[in-house]
Amino acid sequence: MGSTRGASLLAGVVLAALIALVLTSARTVEDGEIALAEAKLDFILLETEGTIERNLGLGLPLDELQQVEPLLERTVGRAPEILEVDVFSTAGVTLFSTDRGAVGEAVPLAWIAAITEEQGLTRWRARERETTTLGVPLLNDFGRTEGFIALILTGNALAVPLSRVPELLLAAAPVLAGVVTLAALLGALIGGRADRRLAVAAEALRTREAERLDGDGTALGEAVAAAIRRSTRAGEEVDAAALEMRRIDAEI
By CB under 8 A, name the one of 60, 106, 160, 202 that touches other proteins: 202
Site stretch for other proteins (CB under 8 A), options 52-60, 64-72, 134-142, 236-244:
236-244
* By the rule CB under 8 A, 235 interacts with other proteins: yes
Q: What do you get for the CA distance between the two ends of the chain, in Å?
A: 58
Identify which range of 1-9, 57-65, 97-105, 148-156 contacts other proteins by CB under 8 A.
1-9
| Burial readout 4-16 (b: 16 or more C-beta within 10 A, e: otherwise) | eebbbbbbeebbe
- Spatial distance between the Cα atoms of 92 and 88, rounded to a whole number of angstroms: 6
Q: Which of 58, 64, 66, 248 binds other proteins (CB under 8 A)?
A: 248
Site for other proteins in 51-90 (CB under 8 A): 78-79
Distance between CA atoms of residues 252 and 246, nearest Å: 10
| Of the candidate residues 66, 80, 143, 249, the single one contacting other proteins (CB under 8 A) | 249
**Is residue 109 a contact residue for other proteins (CB under 8 A)?**
no
Q: Which of 7, 14, 82, 107 binds other proteins (CB under 8 A)?
A: 14
240 in contact with other proteins (CB under 8 A)? yes
Closest CA to 159 of 52, 24, 28: 28
Look up residue 99 and give its amino acid.
Answer: D
Show contacts with other proteins in window 208-227 (CB under 8 A). 208, 218-220, 223-224, 226-227
For the segment 135-164, give every residue that binds other proteins (CB under 8 A).
Answer: 164
Strand order in the sheet with 145-154: 94-97, 82-89, 145-154, 131-139, 124-127
3-state class (DSSP) for residue 30: helix
Exactly one of 77, 104, 109, 117 binds other proteins (CB under 8 A); which one? 117
